[in-house]
Amino acid sequence: MTAAEIEAKAKEIKRMVIRTVTGAKGGHVGTSLSEVDILATLYFGVLNLDPAHPDLVDRDRFILSKGHGSEGLYCSLAAKGFFPREVLGTYLRHDCPLTIHPTRHVPGVEMNTGALGHGFSNAVGVALSARLRKRGYRAFVLTGDGELQEGSNWEAAMSAAHFELGNLTVIVDNNGLQLSDRVDRTMRIEPLDEKFRSFGFDVHKVDGHSVPELLGILSALDYGGKKPHAIIARTTKGKGVSFMEGVPEWHHRVPTPEEGERALKELEL
Amino acid sequence: MSACLRETQVDTYIKLVKAGLDMVYLVSDSVSTSKIKPFREAFPDRVINVGIAEQNLLGIAAGLANGGFVTVTGNATAFLISRSNEQMKVDVSYTNSNVKVNGLHAGFSYGTDGCTHHEPNDVSVVRGFPNFEIYAPCDPAECAQVTEYALTKRFGPVYISLNTGNFPVITGGGYRFVPGTPVQFAQGADLTVVALGTAAHDVLAAARDLGGAAAMDVFCVSSVRPLDFGPIADSIRKTGRALTVEQHSTHGGVGSLVAEGIAERGLGAKLRRLGVPEGSYTKNWTAPDNKAFFGLDPAGIRKAIVEILAER
């Protein structure tokens, strides 16, 4: 798929996110919009996956460590064909697998996440399994930036470099906001690029809303090499909806029906 | 002949991999703790040392299980139960990963390294995690069977609590481990005694010391979950009183299991629980000294039995 086609998919997924959250009256709309351009690039331009066979041994694995971005993931999986789009209408209903944080009950989800600081280690395990088996599948993990305050991530980073896992890529959704405030006012994590580089990573800083840039970098990484990759993707929480962009309360606030309509209109432009 | 439970496990791993099992073993610098060296010499690519990083240990284990390996971890349970608690919950239990978690040096068996290295709550904590089957094998023969079952017959999380030291085989030559079934060692009408894992050795020693003075049903719960409580309930209906013995907190271990079983079935029996009393730290002493302090050595168990029998 070309970058332009992926951009169109991303916009479509963002509209699906707005409808899903507004319909369910719950979710994390800001954080999901922050990640959709990255997820669309991964699912439509990078990951080697077969939605009809989600358990293929040689599939690439994507782990959403920032599990509260579940709507972005569910809408990407539905757009990719892992399950029918109508299922998104059941989001947050009792006895429905589309829970607020993702679980393996949803086709295409690799690990149950939601507690922060877990997915990176899981991805190290996946990448190690591929290396031990001499298989070509790769591990991708998306973390939040505030999430990197969890020390377990740095245990994972140390081990990814130590085990020389070039088949592992960590992408940081670097929107600069966490639940209650700006990341830099809460607990500074910068300079992220220098931190990852000092841990032994191949580091790239990209515009996390530029599909051509994301696609270019993710297509050019040396996955067979010895250095794991860190992509620090500068993003905006609530991207694409003017009244949500960069506003911390949209981490968890649910759009009213009117706000949902306004958001959908903006995403059609 | 006595043997170390960890060494028995390692022998089992070697046998299973030679037979074709696709497993990996993860340590957090716990190479000596896990006694894994003979396995590593035979299969160097199948041992992964993540360094002193217990959260990462369990997180990586779940990722390796996602990649299709039967994944086994081995480290001191004191640094597992608390440090890796959320990884146990989310990555292994909630995700239902095919990871086998060994809690080594359970109870106060780490000895004089003290409270930081003791873990008398492992069974209690893991009972809070759905999907985990929980075992505490009592002797080398049972340990080998539990290990083989966990790695080859059970797809999903297993926790195995292992005490330290050399233990003789007490289960008998024809013993076949069956998940859920308590092991019965002796029969008698006066008292029901239930031990957790290797505490059975001290109970049997106490029974030997008492000779014919106490007629007891003696059970070992080595399968904590699943557990068929039926045989223990039948015994308590007969004897009307029970004693539990465990190198574990009286909260959440076999003492709690039996208390729950008595209450839920309305058995109306009197129960005494020997263990590390709820709310107590262990002592920074040797394991035998801790056993004596908490009344878990044969002399302490014998004293408790005599007191219980004198009550009627």
Question: A159 contacts in B (CB within 8 Å)?
Answer: 50-51, 53, 56, 60
Interface membership of B45 toward A (CB under 8 Å): yes
CB contact (8 A) between residue B60 and residue A128: yes
Q: Rg of chain A over CA atoms, in angstroms?
A: 17
CB contact (8 A) between residue A125 and residue B95: no
Please write the tens of the pLDDT for every residue from B123-137. 999 999 999 999 999
CB contact (8 A) between residue B67 and residue A121: no
- pLDDT for position A252: 83
- pLDDT for position A180: 85
Question: A158 contacts in B (CB within 8 Å)?
Answer: 51, 53
Question: How far is residue B116's CA from residue B110's CA, in Å, rounded to a whole number?
Answer: 10
Question: A139 contacts in B (CB within 8 Å)?
Answer: 63
Nearest CA in chain A to B88: A118
- pLDDT for position B212: 82
Name residue A58's beta-bridge partners.
Answer: none
Residue A268 Cα, gap to closest chain B Cα (Å): 37
Nearest of A249, A241, A63 to residue A147 by alpha carbon: A63
Task: Closest CB to A121: pick one of B63, B65, B89.
Answer: B63
Residue A19 Cα, gap to closest chain B Cα (Å): 28
- pLDDT for position B213: 87
Question: How far is residue A178's CA from residue A184's CA, in Å, rounded to a whole number?
Answer: 9
Biggest alpha carbon distance in chain A? 53
CB contact (8 A) between residue A121 and residue B87: yes
DSSP B213-250: G--EEEEEE-EEESB--HHHHHHHHHHSEEEEEEEEET
**In 3-state terms, chain A is what percent helix, strand and coil (to 5)?**
45, 10, 40
Model ipTM value: 0.96
- pLDDT for position B312: 67
Question: A133 contacts in B (CB within 8 Å)?
Answer: 67-68
For an interface test with B, which of A133, A159, A164 has the most B Cβ atoms less than 10 Å from its Cβ? Answer: A159
Both tokens assigned to B172? 């008998």
Neighbours of B1 (CB within 10 A): 6
Spans of chain B, pLDDT less than 70: 312
Whose tokens are 């939601």? That residue is A114
Question: A156 contacts in B (CB within 8 Å)?
Answer: 56, 59-60
Interface membership of B75 toward A (CB under 8 Å): no
Nearest of A209, A157, A151, A149 to residue A183 by alpha carbon: A149
Which residues are within 8 A (CB) of B173 and not within 5 positions of it... i.e. 6 or more apart?
Answer: none
Q: Which 200-259 residues of chain B touch chain A by CB within 8 A?
A: none
Cβ-Cβ pairs closer than 8 A, A with B, add up to 104
Residue B114 Cα, gap to closest chain A Cα (Å): 26
Interface membership of B48 toward A (CB under 8 Å): yes
- 3-class DSSP string for B36-71: CHHHHHHCHHHEEECCCCHHHHHHHHHHHHHCCCEE
Task: Closest CB to A129: pick one of B58, B67, B95.
Answer: B67
CB contact (8 A) between residue B66 and residue A122: yes
Both tokens assigned to B40? 């590593």
From residue B283, alpha-carbon distances to A260, B116, B255, B266 in Å are: 61, 10, 20, 36
Spans of chain A, pLDDT less than 50: none
- pLDDT for position B189: 96
